[in-house]
Amino acid sequence: MSHLTLDQAQIDRARNMARRIAHQVYDDMQRFTTTSVERATLRLMGVDGVDENQVPLPNRLVSHLQAQGLLAQGAALPVAAAMAEHGLSIQQVAQTVAAGQLSLQNPLTSSSRANEATARSIANELAARTCERIAANRATRDSAITRCGEARAPWLYLIVATGNIHEDIVQARAAAEQGADVIAVIRSTGQSLLDYVPYGATTEGFGGTYATQENFKLMRAALDEVGQRIGRYIRLTNYCSGLCMPEIAAMGAMERLDMMLNDSMYGIIFRDINMQRTFVDQFFSRMVNAYAGIIINTGEDNYLTTADACEAAHTVLASQLINEQFAYLSGLKPEQMGLGHAFEINPALENGFLWELAHAQLVRQVFPEACLKYMPPTKHMTGNIFKGHIQDALFNVASVLTQQNIHLLGMMTEAIHTPLMQDRFLAIQNARYVFGNLRDLHEEIQFTPGGRIEQRAQQVLAETEALLGQIEQNGLPAAIAQGTFADISRTLTGGKGLDGVIPKAPGYFNPFPARMLPGAQQEHTS
């Protein structure tokens, strides 16, 4: 398909404004750490498991450090210092602290600076060991893709959500055998608001299955087995969001997940998680995802579930540009940026499909190297399964025509019940039929110069530039407070999790940014 005629200078101006917006937030937020960042750091250093009351040991350690007034310097140093002083492993330190038999101290106040140097050395060694493990996982993924091959884009992305990880595995295997390329395990309802990560294999989730490291491990093994058998690498996705965003990124990196839903603003807007907490957490989590070779999925599609898809189209593009810049700051490359958008225009609107094509092609051209994620109709599904199946077919057409990368399958039973296996089978068949029959149509047709589709894309781009100018002038927190995105307002000091935001002390230390960030600056480790 020929390209739309868009003003590249206008795109560049919009991208530069988004860059300045993201840097302004980063400069404000880098002065802080969070309880979830420090728990993730401890997990990456080797802390795992729960105490006798099923409280995760990373939580116990961080709570202890917070009570001792030590968390502002980072969890890594005092824990590593205790390892050196008592001759314990990091897991033994966590267990001993949880049992009330050890109180951690500040190595920076010691009379001997050798204690600090020893602690830094131990922390760095543990960090290096985990980074080697994550790098090996990345190499394993690359090798499996080379050996098994992978599907052509758009990849068919399908959800499982039984609440029981063992039942999820059965459904995931069936979906892969039927043609799914990406399996997303929906999290149990409300997990994003839990300030801890459940432990072990779980079987009692509601509306989804708990995100735990053991569940990640079980599903990864199952998809590796079925991918080897059918000759196609199957990607695994989970949700790296909520109050434990950095911890879930750490677990996913250690268990070789391939994609993570990891938006910079979704938790603020749709889960009322504190803005400062989210901005700090998203930077660390994306850094881990970048290092692990994980593709992130952003959540702009959600804006169109609460705002009108035509009137708010420019807010989607503005948010994508901001998300892109946050992603660059964390070390993500364009091919790891699954920037989200959706097919959500009211089907009763005349020429609605033209406007959907305009929006999808606009996003494709603004982000030519990104791994775009295109979401199906949901808002205007009525329970009429026959009409719904047609809506999904039109969505499939738009996706293949505009060469999207990640295609979340629409379900004809949307708005009726959680899709059954046969509903997923029909969704896969619908997409495969459309993709196969229209595979190369984009090379055979052109947009009419100055036509309706092109004019609509140009209008959305102009509105995006104007909006980003306003956001740059007032700041992103103020824009969110004004309800700019999704017509939902949140404030800088409101929401859940603000008590977990901690100003960094002058001696703050974390061993991971220096290893995970490309060209890391000294400010990241001091």
| Active-site pick, 210, 266, 374, 508 | 266
| Active-site pick, 210, 233, 373, 374 | 373
CA 510 to chain centre: 22
Q: What are the DSSP E strand ranges found in 132-245? A: 155-160, 182-185, 235-239
CA 234 to chain centre: 18
* 156 contacts 409 by C-beta, under 8 angstroms: yes
* 471 contacts 318 by C-beta, under 8 angstroms: yes
Q: What are the DSSP E strand ranges found in 98-216? A: 155-160, 182-185
Phi, psi of 297 (to 5 degrees): -115, 125
**Other beta carbons within 10 Å of 475:** 15
Q: Which of 265, 272, 295, 255 is nearest to 192 (CA)?
A: 272
Query: Is 333 an annotated catalytic residue?
Result: no
Phi-psi region of 182 (alpha: psi -120 to 50; beta: other; left: phi over 0): beta
Q: Considering just the CA atoms, what is the radius of gyration of the chain in Å? A: 23
* 138 contacts 292 by C-beta, under 8 angstroms: yes
For residue 392, CA distances in Å to 184, 322, 413, 482, 501 come to 19, 29, 11, 33, 42
* 183 contacts 175 by C-beta, under 8 angstroms: yes
Q: Which of 247, 297, 284, 254 is nearest to 520 (CA)?
A: 284
- Coil, strand or helix: which one is 348? coil
Q: Which tokens go with 515?
A: 């290893």
CA 229 to chain centre: 29
Q: Mark 320-351 as b/e (b = at least 16 C-beta within 10 Å).
A: bbbbbbbbbbbbbeeebbbbbbbbbbebeeee
Q: What spatial distance separates the first Cα and last Cα of the chain, rounded to whole Å?
A: 50
Amino acid in position 217: K
Phi, psi of 412 (to 5 degrees): -65, -20
In which element (H, E) is residue 80 found?
helix 76-86
Q: DSSP secondary structure string, 278-329? A: HHHHHHHHHHHHHHHTPEEE--GGGHHHHS-TTTTHHHHHHHHHHHHHHHHH
| Active-site pick, 168, 258, 263, 301 | 301
* 193 contacts 229 by C-beta, under 8 angstroms: no
Query: Is 373 an annotated catalytic residue?
Result: yes
* 336 contacts 375 by C-beta, under 8 angstroms: no
Query: Is 266 an annotated catalytic residue?
Result: yes
Phi, psi of 280 (to 5 degrees): -70, -45
Q: Which residues are catalytic?
A: 266, 301, 373
